[in-house]
Amino acid sequence: MARAKNDEEGPNPVDIYVGSKVKSRRLMLGLSQEELATAIGLTFQQVQKYERGTNRISVSRLVDICKVLKVQVDYFFEGSFGIGNKPGTRNLAIKGFSDTKQEELEPDPLLKRDVMELVRAYSQIKSPQLKKQILEMAKAMSVSEPSGKSA
């Protein structure tokens, strides 16, 4: 059965969301698109299309991606579609995941490359004391920034 066509052309917001989760996890693990593509038997161009939401990821392909990215399938739907809510509840009307026209979504700042690199580097630090010091330093620096703008 074909899905109803949206009034607007372009990728479905769900496909964009899942693709962005693939990209963020891939970057977190320090994998290139080429490395992920090779591991799942595709070209890096296909991985690019998945990450942008241009092409939909089939369930079987998503399972392959999960194995490489070392996550469960529900990782790609956390915070949306009612997954993780109480049994029997559904929360489908989340901003960006609705059949009704909505305003443009703000890009998730956590998906920026520099943020991902920072998180990856931080997670590789073994010393809890050093991690705490870095966190406190970052907090102090963010407070000293005038109105959140960088100079």
Domain locations along the chain:
13-103, 112-151
How large a percentage of the chain has pLDDT more than 90? Answer: 36
Per the confidence metrics, is the pTM higher than 0.75? no
Q: Output Rg (C-alpha) for the chain, integer angstroms.
A: 18
* Dihedral (Cα; 29, 34, 36, 39), 10-degree rounding: -130
Token pair recorded at residue 66: 């999960």
pLDDT in tens, 24-48: 889 888 889 999 999 999 999 999 9
pLDDT in tens, 63-112: 999 999 999 998 888 765 444 444 433 343 444 445 555 445 455 666 67
φ and ψ at 113, to 5 degrees?
-55, -45
Query: Which residue has better confidence, 92 or 124?
Result: 124
Q: What is the DSSP string of 2-24?
A: PPPPPSS-S--HHHHHHHHHHHH
- Mean pLDDT for the chain overall: 77
Amino acid 44 reads: F
Looking at CATH, the fold of the domain delimited by 13-103 is given as 434 Repressor (Amino-terminal Domain) (1.10.260)
